């Protein structure tokens, strides 16, 4: 049997967060479910060779992030048949069509906000605020310097706060009240 | 420029960076210049609120869905492990890349001119991307039909490029990025050439027979310094992705 009790337990502990990371990166439930399942397969397959040089959770989120990014690339290669509300077809050669598709498909206002953030900022933001990885762990997962991690998270947070702030309470942005959120 | 001190523009990115680091307790309020503290605290409050929204929006996953996902993952791995030797997975990966190269040839894309830019190579390769069906075709391995070359990246966690020297055909920088993702996975061992053709003090040469955009190439790679592809004829740099 490939799945040992300890692996089973680890998978249970991490499943929800793997799925959350994939959903917040991909912003499409169906694609996120595919990425989550691919990540689960990769974790099961690679578990015996996991060498413990990083925390298990870091290793898991690296795999989940790669699975989500793989899914994003795969989605870009799929032919798009996207129509706006007025029936106009979105130009598939438009370099922003992927972002438009994300925004179009995003099911809730948070997802719509995240869809407007560049992918590199969104991934770093999700790993920090959803997966709760620290800078060092995100640096390992994304294979980028810690300074870049800080910068991407800050920019992602700034963009998202502006987007959500503009849509929620445009006149109160300078005096945010955490208790009301 | 806006008068709003909390607005996220390049001009006041310092405020966002201070605020973000303050939220993460990477710095203390005392580390922030006095004149920025009010703005930073206001912005930090927005960031905290946003984080709370992200966390509270997460959907609950019921245990039956988790059971099902674990069962499908373990079953998938068991099916694959009994139906194919590990080395064949890598074989499929390289076969799919080879098929992709063949597809490039079929559409008549001439990418071997030294003047070709990465962008043009990328654009051309995009139109000739291997389809999932072609990727799965070389051998009936039991791999999921929708697995493209990208999908094999996670497999790297348990794989090496050992054995007979592999050939690797790369069409564009997207595929280079895929290689970087794959080779950066912990536990993946990338064989190195003992006598590289081209000199790169930062990145060892990888022991594969590589073709990049139709030309024989030598790949140099390190996790810290990225990947660079050199033309074997003259060691000119053909492409790369570096931090």
DSSP structure string for A102-151: HHHH--SHHHHHHHTS-HHHHHHHHHHHTS---HHHHHHHHT--HHHHHH
Q: What's the CATH class of domain A5-79+86-171?
A: mainly alpha
Tell how far CA A158 is from the center of its chain: 17
CB atoms within 10 A of CB B143: 23
Task: Specify whether the CB–CB gap between A65 and A21 falls below 8 A.
Answer: yes
Mutation target for A interface from B16, B63, B224: give the one with most A CBs within 10 A. B16
Mean pLDDT of chain A: 75
SS3 category, B25: coil
- Are the C-beta atoms of B81 and B116 separated by less than 8 Å? no
User: Which B residues in the span 107-136 are in contact with A, Cβ-Cβ below 8 Å?
Assistant: 126, 129
- Please work out, in degrees rounded to the nearest 5, the angle formed at the alpha carbon of residue B208 by the alpha carbons of B207 and B212: 130
For residue A110, list chain B residues with Cβ-Cβ distance below 8 A.
53-54, 57
Torsion (CA) B204, B205, B211, B216 in degrees, nearest 10? 130
Q: What pLDDT is attached to residue B212?
A: 83
CA distances to A50, B52, B79, B158 from B144, in Å: 23, 38, 11, 18
A66 to chain B: which residues are within 8 Å by CB?
A: 153-154, 181, 185
What is the Cα–Cα distance from B133 to A3, expressed in whole angstroms?
A: 30
What pTM did the predictor assign?
A: 0.52
Mean pLDDT by 10 residues, chain B (243 residues): 44 83 93 92 93 79 84 75 45 46 40 36 30 32 34 35 60 77 74 84 85 85 84 84 76
pLDDT digits over A86-142, tens only? 444 443 333 344 554 555 454 578 888 898 999 999 999 999 998 888 999 899 888
Q: Find where tokens 């390049």 sit.
A: B10
| Cα gap A16→B61, rounded to integer Å | 6
Higher-pLDDT residue of A150 and A73 is A150
Element (H, E) at B167: strand B167-170
Return the domain boundaries, chain A.
5-79+86-171
Helical (H) or strand (E) element with A67: helix A56-77
What gap in Å lies between CA A155 and CA B122, rounded to an integer?
28
Distance (Å) from the alpha carbon of B33 to chain A's nearest alpha carbon: 18
Nearest by CB: A41 against B73, B184, B186: B73
Question: How far apart are the C-alpha atoms of B233 and B229, rounded to whole Å?
Answer: 12
Tell me what ipTM this predicted complex has: 0.72
Cα–Cα distance for residue pair B1/B8, rounded to 1 Å: 10
Q: Residue A2, Cβ neighbours under 10 Å: how many?
A: 16
> pLDDT: is A5 or B224 the higher one?
B224
A13-27, A143-157, B152-166: range with lowest mean pLDDT? B152-166
**Residue given tokens 């348990």 in the structure block:** B158
Percent share of chain A, pLDDT over 90: 29
pLDDT band at A161 (very low <50, low <70, confident <90, very high): very high
A82, pLDDT greater than 60:
no
Is residue B228 a contact partner of residue B118, using CB atoms and an 8 Å limit? no
- Residue A133 and residue A127: Cα distance in Å, rounded? 6
**Closest alpha carbon to A116 in A163, A152, A71, A149:** A163
SS3 B144: coil
């Amino acid at each position: 049997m490939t799945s040992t009790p300890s692996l089973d337990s680890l998978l249970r502990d991490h499943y929800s967060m793997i799925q959350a990371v994939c959903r917040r990166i991909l912003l499409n439930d169906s694609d996120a479910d595919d990425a989550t399942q691919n990540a689960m397969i990769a974790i099961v397959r690679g578990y015996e060779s996991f060498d413990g040089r990083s925390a298990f959770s870091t290793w898991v989120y690296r795999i989940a992030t790669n699975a989500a990014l793989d899914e994003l690339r795969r989605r870009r290669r799929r032919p798009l048949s996207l129509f706006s509300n007025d029936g106009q077809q979105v130009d598939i050669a438009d370099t922003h069509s992927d972002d438009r598709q994300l925004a179009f498909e995003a099911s809730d206002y948070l997802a719509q906000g995240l869809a407007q953030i560049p992918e590199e900022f969104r991934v770093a933001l999700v790993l920090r605020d959803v997966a709760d990885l620290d800078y060092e762990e995100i640096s390992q997962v994304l294979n980028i310097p810690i300074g870049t991690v800080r910068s991407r998270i800050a920019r992602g947070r700034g963009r998202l706060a502006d987007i959500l702030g503009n849509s929620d309470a445009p006149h109160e942005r300078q005096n945010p009240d955490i208790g009301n959120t | 420029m806006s008068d709003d001190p909390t607005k996220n523009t390049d001009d006041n990115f310092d405020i966002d960076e201070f605020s973000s680091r303050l939220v993460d307790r990477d710095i203390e309020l005392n580390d922030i210049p006095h004149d920025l503290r009010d703005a930073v605290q206001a912005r930090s409050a927005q960031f905290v609120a946003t984080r709370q929204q992200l966390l509270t929006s997460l959907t609950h996953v019921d245990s039956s869905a988790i059971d099902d996902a674990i069962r499908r993952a373990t079953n998938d791995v068991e099916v694959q492990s009994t139906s194919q030797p590990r080395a064949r997975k890598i074989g499929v990966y390289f076969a799919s890349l080879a098929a992709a190269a063949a597809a490039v040839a079929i559409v008549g894309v001439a990418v071997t001119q030294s003047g070709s830019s990465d962008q043009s190579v990328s654009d051309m390769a995009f139109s000739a991307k291997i389809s999932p069906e072609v990727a799965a075709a070389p051998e009936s391995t039991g791999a999921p039909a929708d697995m493209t070359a990208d999908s094999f990246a996670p497999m790297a966690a348990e794989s090496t490029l050992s054995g007979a020297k592999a050939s690797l055909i790369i069409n564009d920088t997207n595929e280079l990025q895929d290689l970087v993702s794959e080779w950066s996975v912990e536990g993946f061992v990338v064989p190195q050439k003992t006598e590289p053709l081209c000199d790169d003090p930062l990145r060892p040469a990888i022991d594969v027979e590589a073709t990049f955009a139709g030309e024989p190439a030598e790949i140099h790679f390190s996790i810290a310094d990225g990947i660079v592809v050199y033309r074997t004829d003259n060691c000119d740099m053909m492409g790369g992705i570096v931090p």
